[in-house]
Amino acid sequence: MLQLIRDRAQGWIVMVIIGMLILGLASFAWDSYFRPDVEVAVANVNGEKITANQFQMEYQRQRARLQSMLGGTDISKVIPDESQFKSNILKGMEEEELVLQAAKKDGFSVSNVQLAQQIRAIEAFHTNGQFDAALYQQWLQQNRMSAADFEAMLRRDVIVQQYRMGIAGTAWVTGKERQAIVQKLEQQRDVGVVKISAQAYLAGIEVTDADARSHYEGDKQRYATTEQVSIQYLELSLDALMEKVQVDEAALQEMYQEHQGDFGTAEERHVSHILIESSADGDVAKAKADALFEQIAGGASFEELARKDSADTGSAKDGGDLGFLSRDAMLDPAFADAAFALKQGEVSKPVKSAYGYHIIKLSEIKRGQVRSFDEMRAQLVQDYRHKQAEAIFFEQREMLANITFENPDSLEPAAQQLGLKINVTPLFVRDQGMGLASNPDIRKTAFSDEVLFQGNNSEVKEISSGHLIVLRIKEHLESTVRPFEEVQGEVVAQLKGQRAEAKAKEEGLALLQLLKTNSDVETLAKQKGLDWQHLGLVKRSSTAVDHDVMTKVFRMKAPAQESRSFGGVVLPSGDYAVVALFAVNDGAVDVNDEQAKSVAVNRERYYGFSHLEGVVKGLRSVAEIREYPENL
């Protein structure tokens, strides 16, 4: 059973994991200042700690994923409650830890060889379709990660997804069930509709002043203005600070000298290898590697032996070819030392690494090159400005927090000491705003008791990485009920609309009552001057009529032979529709056609994730979980 789960879990999930890792880590690169102490726990799952640093990384990863999905749309629009968003992320991390513990208990693992193959398969690290070790190292440096950290993260995620997709992948749909589903999806219904327009009754409806005033008095809040505020705020931006940094040429030269090794390409070696994985009996693996080396020394083809005997299936098909690799990209120090000790054309004796025993062949050497100061100057300027601005940003952040706390009734002292401009927004309401007020967290803060009613400055709010504000109320317009004379026209229009809709429904119900004894709906509709449409056979996917009519049609019971069924539904427009159902024809289907197969896949996916949800709920029900929300 476990092997079945593992087999069905392999494949595309690895690339999904990689995409999420790369997307999230890229957004997390510089923001170390805001990371809490890495050892502070936000939750504890069966004795395993989830740290604040791990939470922040996952938080940034989820935000980056949403941002990628939304393109240029303000991400705050889909996160109306930041605290709930964080809570959901924490719950997900707890469940991931539970799954990881269960997977390890059941023997799930990822070997070093598999991990190396998967890293080499990541398209983000490819140049011209081949793994680019320099690109991999560059990505690690940009994200301030070591290869070991990345491998550990990838290994964990692959194990978790193996377990999840393995459970989900064991669901199946029988041929009979597949046929029944497709028959229902392809079902056709012979339908007619009588639509009774509410608009047609408006002209005949009178609303007296007394009626309007009575309605107004009974529902005054409907005619109240919406509470509004505008805010003033101070904004601290890392990007703005970077623009003000004056470049020091001497400092640029010093940076260049200190990091010269980073401004170019490291020496790379075109290597191939034959890998013999070590089992519990390492002597057997060593003996096999020694025997292969002797064959190569005796004139046997290195490439043919690699294809036949190498455990690295990713490179074996290419005769063991790993392409050009820098020392840092060789994933194992012993392997790197051996490869860089070889002369061009040489083959090493078996070398022991964390992956097993390697026989390494060196085909070509590409010497490293260092880019000149002039070539790197633009990047040096950017790095210098970022570093200087970051230091100023952190200092001013503390000053901004302290000054606005010590002077809670004004932003002026902080603005003067930090040289910041006090900005002002237009008026906005609790659930909607423009510009800065489009951010739900900003609106929530503006309407909070401390800011709105106590009149204090807010805490420092992080809008995004390197972008902070402190706000206070500029203007507050309370909700007030508008006088009757001002809204009389609205009241009359609303009452007319309500009464017209009631008339349309009344007419529809009366028609349904007549149809109980006379099913000739077309004749009855004409007698009443109503619009009758016989739509004929329609599928669930039909757009010929209103969605609500289609929903009603496919919920109605099939009529008896030579009979008809009738039903009614109020439409969003206020109109009323009387629906006639003449016949129901199930769709004919071949269980082996593409649609049937697609239906089966989707249903199996639904069943599979339902199974997985049940498993995770079971794990959580017996787990000991403690949360520390104050550390989020």
Whole-angstrom CA distances from 494 to 196, 207, 216, 220, 225 are 19, 10, 10, 13, 17
- What is the helix (H) or strand (E) element at residue 505, kind and residue range? helix 484-515
- 551, 541 contact by CB (below 8 A): no
Does 591 score more than 60 pLDDT? no
CB burial readout 173-205, b (16+ within 10 A) else e: beeeebbebbeebbbbbbbbbbbbbbebbeeee
The number of helices, as runs of H, and strands, as runs of E, in the chain is 23, 19
Helix ranges (H only) for 259-372 are 282-297, 302-309, 313-316, 333-341
The one-character DSSP state at 221 is G
The residue whose two tokens read 């502070």 is: 40
Asked whether residue 111 carries a pLDDT value surpassing 90, the answer given is no
Bridge partners (DSSP) listed for residue 347: 361
What are 469's strand-pairing partners? 235, 461
| Lookup: tokens for 266 | 């490291």
Is 15's pLDDT higher than 70?
Answer: no
Give me the amino acid identity at 327: R
- Token output for 115: 């991990």
Tens digits of residue pLDDT in 409-433: 999 999 999 999 999 999 999 989 9
Res 103: pLDDT: 93
Worst-scoring range by mean pLDDT, 60-74, 248-262, 413-427, 610-624?
60-74
- pLDDT, tens only, 307-319: 999 988 878 999 9
* Mean residue pLDDT across the chain: 87
pLDDT tens digits, 326-352 = 887 787 889 999 999 999 999 999 999
User: Mean pLDDT lowest for which of 75-84, 94-103, 281-290, 570-579?
Assistant: 75-84
Q: For 528-549, write each residue's pLDDT tens digit.
A: 999 999 999 999 888 878 899 9
Which of these, 585, 497, 418, lies nearest to 207 by C-alpha position? 497
- Which of 511, 538, 396, 391 is closest to 460 using CA atoms? 396
Pair of tokens at residue 487 = 């809204």
- What is the distance between the alpha carbons of residues 381 and 375, in angstroms, rounded to a whole number? 12
pLDDT at 19: 52
Residue 77's beta-bridge partner residues? none
Give the pair of three-digit tokens for residue 45. 């799952």
Residue 114, token pair as written in the block: 């598999």
Alpha-carbon Rg for the chain, nearest whole angstrom, is 35
Task: Give the tens place of pLDDT for each residue, 363-409.
Answer: 999 888 778 888 889 989 999 999 999 999 999 999 999 999 999 99
Instruction: Tell the residue number behind the tokens 């494949």, with chain if given.
Output: 11
Question: Could you tell me whether strands 228-237 and 423-424 are parallel, antiparallel, or unpaired per DSSP bridges?
Answer: antiparallel
Q: Cα separations (Å) of 192 from 531, 536, 574?
A: 11, 7, 19
Nearest to 631 by CA among 59, 163, 19, 99: 59
**Is the distance from CB of 103 to CB of 461 less than 8 angstroms?**
no
The more confidently predicted of residues 28 and 416 is 416
Q: What's the rounded Cα separation, in Å, for the pair 316 and 70? A: 41
Residue with tokens 């997390």: 28
Residue 409 burial (10 A CB sphere; 0-12, 13-18, 19+): exposed
- The answer to whether the predicted template modeling score (pTM) of the entire model surpasses 0.75 is no
How far apart CA 267 and CA 256 sit, in angstroms, is 19
Of the candidate ranges 158-167, 188-197, 298-307, 476-485, the one whose mean pLDDT is the lowest? 158-167
pLDDT class for 11, splitting at 50, 70, 90? Answer: very low
**Predicted confidence band of residue 281 (pLDDT cuts 50, 70, 90):** low
Answer whether 322's CB lies under 8 Å from 273's CB: yes
Cβ pair 591, 178 in contact under 8 A: yes
